[in-house]
Chain A
Amino acid sequence: MLLIHCPYCEDDRPELEFSHAGQAHIVRPTDMDGLSDEEFEAMFFIRDNPKGIILERWRHSMGCGRFLNAVRHTVTDKFLKTYKAGQPRPTDKDIEDLLK
């Protein structure tokens, strides 16, 4: 069972308290009507499935209830970082530093 750091609780919590909530940093456009079919497809249906670093959302559903973002390595299952929803996506450089 993983331990996940909740940035709202500022504490490591057992995985059992969390639920996975899909890929992170997919913004719902304010002008949904303006999306072409291809743009809608990319926004709603297409997801990354990398071997390595993934940015994803979790919800501390059995804890503080907040959605949060995480940088996780899909091979080692290691959480390199978690941060609050709404905070900017880590840059490639940030991720490189986390991997060190």
Chain B
Amino acid sequence: MTKSSSQPYRIKGAGTLSRARTVQFTFDGKSYEGLEGDTLASALLANGVHLMGRSFKYHRPRGVMSAGVEEPSALMNITRDNARTNPNVRASVQELYDGMKAESQNRFPSLSFDVGAVNSLLSPAFVAGFYYKTFKWPAKAWDKLYEPFIRRAAGLGESPTEEDPDRYSNRFAHCDVLIIGGGAAGLMAAKTAAAKKQSVIICDENPKMGGWLLADSDVRIDGKSGAQWAADTVAELQAMDNVRVLTRTTGFGYFQQNMVALNERVTDHLSRPDPDLPRERMWQVRAKKVVIAQGSIERHMVFSGNDRPGVVLAGAAQMWLNQHGVAVGHTVGVYAACDTGYAAAFDLYEAGVNVAAIIDHRAEVSEDLLDQAKTHGIEVHTNANITSTSGRLRINGMTVETSNGETKEFEVDALLMAGGWTPSLHLSSQSRAKPAWDEATQRFLPGVSPQDCVNIGGCNGLDDLDAVFAEAIKAVGGKKTKIEITDDVSTAGGAIGIVGPEEHKGKAFVDFQNDVTAKDIKLAVREGMHSIEHVKRYTTNGMATDQGKLSNMHGLAIAAKLLGKSIPEVGLTTFRAPYTPTTFGSFVGHDRGSLFDPNRKTPIHDWAVEQGATFEPVSLWQRAWYFPKGDEDMHSAVDRECQTVRKAAGVFDASTLGKIEVVGPDAAAFMDKMYTNGWSKLKAGRAKYGIMCREDGFIYDDGVVGKLSDTRFHVTTTTGGAPRVLNHMEDYLQTEFPDMQVWLTSTTEQWATIAVQGPKAREIIEPLVSGANISDEKFPHMSVIECKVCGVPARLFRISFTGELGFEINVPAGYGRAVWEAVWDRAEPMGACAYGTEAMHVLRAEKGYIIVGQDTDGTVTPHDADLSWAVAKSKPDYVGKRGLQRPDLVADGRRQLVGLKTKDPNKVLEEGAQIVRDPEQAIPMKMIGFVTSSYWSGTLGQSIAMAVVEDGFNMMGKSLYVPMPDETIEVEVTGTVFYDPKGEKLNG
């Protein structure tokens, strides 16, 4: 194709694009040339391509209809690579870039010959409610027949097959005035607010601001063309510090208290995007005042054959001509119910396009327009209607019924529809304003919003530029200024619903994307759908990706007429965010991969990595799970770690334990309230196991607490429980005991905690400790002391979660790695090992130490857990005391924590497995409890488990059964302490 023959519909001298800046692209594999500044649709039209897609249900050939986001038909797949395949891109707004690859959708094998078009012949079957009527029975047909059919038929376009490699970002922003829409109204409001030194954000979904001014050739503002005035105003705004101008940015959601979400498309228009730039950016704007200047959307006319390629909105034809320099055809017809159709016709005429005729649905038309048409020699039929169109892949003719009932045929290669303008109420409605019906102009206008927002311009039902400017200035509290304006076309008036002869032969489309015709709406009403929400769902009118921007008003008018109700009585369907389809990527923003969640690592983490540890996630933490040596599997590594701890010693990273410092003269009194046992009498330098209950008496958390002095406690919590325990304590302190002189500080991350456990523990750490005598005599089990370890300040606990002689060294986190290594340097030569969380679990289970959240589930009391010894009997009050006296909690037969030994010692139970008394009973069996913890104990050479079992304490020695899918396992009920029941190992 030579340059001269390319773009045959590009009109010399028309539009604002430079002829010199050409862009190459492909559509369905064929190469085309367009211009920089084109949309994909305008570039295809420049090349005479109208056929751009197939409809969803009937696979009818479709062309582009609009020049905006309301586009129902020209939806494309735009592909950069396998990961960047975007379905359902509207060709009407997608900016062209060099090398673009566009593909049509919903057709096989090709766009011009589509097998699915057979659906069109079967269309009598595909009526409203087709799915509900057809896919009913038999139930068996669902799996094999109906669902596969629906799945194949459903949806347009194809999803990318690889993970999205693009970046998406987010920005929170605040401003005095947010203006949504950069047309005449929005720009004037921005200019006025900016001059008042307010902070302003103005956004527009298009690459260029100006809105309708870019399409209207007649407007003059202060002597400039509309487009020039818009460009100058934008330049002025961009130069101001207090203004942010966001193009390619859609205000898509309006939330509470003037929070508006904007979606900015940063790189979708670029041939080779900078990989550092986000593809899209989400703006979460909080504005003191919101000015909605969304404009209005032109309606199509509902008549038979209104969906052929080449049938377009009049305003779109005007935009393509005056912005892109493209004519929609050589000979066009116009079907108008609004004056703007004439403006489009005259512009095309002046650009050298034949106008076959203007068919005006209205009987009364202004003399001025008729005179202008006469001057141009354009035939006008008023009080006339188009009854049908012809042409297979593109319109080639229209049939008109004139006012006196005559039929006239015209040859056309494009047809413009001017059905009038629908104010965009999307964001206004989302702000919770109820749309208000305006009887005089037959349209819904924005109602009063409970938020500080105002609608101006086209979306507020204004039809003339003078009024638009005055309203824009007033909206932001500006002073009236004199502006010279020429604007002779009004957007008032129009038609809603079916026009012309009532019974059409062919299909008169209301919703193009979902193939809903006027007949479908009527059928839905006849079949009993009397609410507009039901009509919508029954017919799927307005449920496609365009969300009924063109179709809703027509559907409503048709339904209202048949129901014999007024339009406001029937009412609009609800407007919901997003205004236009918005990518998941922009909602996700930064929060993916390593930024999805904080990944918390202890100061000793890297050491464990170097040792080849395997990790497990515990809440947001990564914890060393076990340290395999050589080709050890988990089972043998854990076995070795456990037995090494029992025989020599083990070193364990317990830094994730939650820690809270409780300080103040009332510290002990506060602890007495929060924990079930007593703290006032505990001596400084001693530590104690504490249970925290909720008010209902159930275990909430547990941990060892060290009393550093009479006014300072070092509290530990479970790893996952730290934040909620602190919140729970703060809650009581602030709201129930506000007079107590005690304060809380989270110190979880201040301390690295190194547990050294096993017979050789003291020998390992003793030389590293200064300022403390840690002999058994001076520093017995359950002691705490502030001293130095490796020369740094430390809190040393004599404590055990293994049942062995044990210490926990707390040092400031920054020293954690160094102190750990010093401990390890001594431990390793003595035959000790590093052990992970799995060995820790086994070791504690051998001793019957519970883990809150594993052995308890929020319905277990301290008594149920056999921890009555840790519940004070004489304390006047603590949280949970009254709850523990509730009838259900003191009743017999509660589920109680017991040990289980399998009859076959090699059989390890599954955690969560249910327990029954009699395995022979009929199904469903009565379940009397379940397994909470279960491990292989290498030390004992048998499997061990803990479980909650009804009346468990009275069942010691009895046999119970654990039914599994392939067998029933017999278990014996035991105490929970399997190893060293007398606790002799702790002391030594």
**Does A44 lie within 8 Å of B286, measured CB to CB?**
no
**Is A77's CB within 8 Å of the partner chain B?**
yes
Contact B259 A67 (CB under 8 A): no
- In the complex, whether A21 has a CB less than 8 A from a CB of chain B is yes
Residues in A with CB closer than 8 Å to B255 are: 1
Q: Does A99 contact B (CB under 8 A)?
A: no
Q: Which of B259, B882, B887 contacts A35 (CB 8 A)?
A: B882
Q: Out of B259, B696, B731, B734, which one reaches A44, CB within 8 Å?
A: B696
B256 pairs with A77, CB closer than 8 A: yes
Bound CA span A45–B255, Å: 33
Contact status A1-B696, CB under 8 Å? no
B855 within 8 A of A: no
Q: Which residues of B contact A66 (CB under 8 A)?
A: 734
Write out the residue numbers on chain B whose beta carbons fall within 8 Å of the beta carbon of A40.
882-883, 886
* Interface Cβ pair total, 8 Å cutoff: 54
Interface centre among A1, A30, A65, A78 (most CB of B within 10 A): A1
Q: Are B257 and A2 in contact (CB under 8 A)?
A: yes
Number of interface residues of A (CB under 8 A): 26
B487 at the interface (CB under 8 A from A): no
Q: Does A52 contact B (CB under 8 A)?
A: no
Q: Which residues of A sit under 8 angstroms from B695, Cβ to Cβ?
A: 28, 44
Q: List residues of B (862-886) whose CB comes within 8 Å of A's CBs.
A: 876-877, 881-883, 885-886
Report B283 CB to chain A, min CB distance, Å: 13
Q: Which of B432, B730, B734, B881 has the most CB of A within 10 A?
A: B734
B735 within 8 A of A: yes
B984 at the interface (CB under 8 A from A): no
Q: When the two chains form their complex, are residues B727 and A59 in contact, meaning their CB atoms are under 8 A apart?
A: yes
Given A1-B255, A37-B887, A44-B696, A32–B734 Cβ distance below 8 Å?
A: no
* Cβ contacts under 8 Å, B148 to chain A: none
Nearest CB in chain A: distance from B725 CB, A = 14
**CB–CB A3/B257 < 8 A:** yes
B450 within 8 A of A: yes
In the complex, chain B residues whose CB is within 8 Å of the CB of A1: 255-257, 259, 284
In the docked arrangement, what's the CA distance between A66 and B730, Å?
9
Does B736 reach chain A (CB closer than 8 Å)? yes
Per DSSP, chain B at the interface is: mixed
A88 at interface by CB-CB < 8 Å: no
Flag A28-39 by CB within 8 Å of B: 1 or 0 each: 101011010100
Given A32-B877, A32-B881, A76-B450, A61 contacting B727 (CB threshold 8 A): yes
* A33-B881, A40-B886 known; A67 vs B284 contact (CB < 8 Å): no
Task: Assess A67 versus B735: contact at CB under 8 Å? Given A33-B882, A44-B695.
Answer: yes
Q: Is A50 an interface residue (CB 8 A)?
A: no
Q: In the docked arrangement, what's the CA distance between A19 and B736, Å?
A: 18
Residues in B whose Cβ lies below 8 Å from that of A67 = 730-731, 734-735
Q: Which residues on B sit within 8 Å (CB–CB) of A45?
A: 696
Is the beta-carbon distance between B882 and A3 smaller than 8 angstroms? Answer: no
Do A28 and B284 have beta carbons less than 8 Å apart? Answer: no
Chain A residues, Cβ within 8 Å of B257: 1-3
Tell me the nearest residue of chain A to B255, going by C-beta.
A1
Alpha-carbon separation in the docked complex, A22 to B284 (Å): 28
Instruction: Tell me whether A85 is interfacial, beta carbon within 8 Å.
Output: yes
Contact residues of A between 1 and 33, Cβ < 8 Å to B = 1-3, 14, 19, 21, 28, 30, 32-33
Q: Give the chain B neighbours of A37 by CB distance below 8 A.
A: 886-887
Measured between alpha carbons, how far is A45 from B885 in the docked complex, in Å? 15
Q: Is the CB of B881 within 8 A of A86?
A: no
Q: Which residue of B lies closest to A39 (CB)?
A: B882
The smallest C-beta distance from A47 to any residue of chain B, in angstroms, reads 13
Cβ of B738 under 8 Å from chain A: yes
Given contacts A2-B257, A3-B286, A40-B882, contact A21 B731 (CB under 8 A): yes
Please give me the residue from chain A that is nearest to B731 by CB atom.
Answer: A67
Q: What chain B residues lie within 8 Å of A30 (beta carbons)? A: 877
Question: What is the CB-to-nearest-CB distance from B166 to chain A, in angstroms, rounded to a whole number?
Answer: 25
Chain A interfacial positions (CB closer than 8 Å to B): 1-3, 14, 19, 21, 28, 30, 32-33, 35, 37, 40, 44-45, 57, 59, 61, 65-67, 76-78, 85-86
Chain B interface (Cβ within 8 Å of chain A)? 255-257, 259, 284, 286, 432, 450, 695-696, 727, 730-731, 734-736, 738, 876-877, 881-883, 885-887
Q: Name 17 extra pairs, CB < 8 A, besides A44-B883, A85-B738.
A: A1-B255, A1-B257, A2-B256, A3-B256, A3-B257, A28-B736, A32-B877, A32-B881, A33-B885, A37-B886, A37-B887, A44-B695, A59-B731, A66-B734, A67-B735, A76-B432, A85-B734
Q: Which 9 A-B pairs have the closest CB atoms?
A: A32-B882, A3-B257, A67-B734, A28-B736, A85-B735, A1-B259, A2-B256, A44-B695, A67-B735
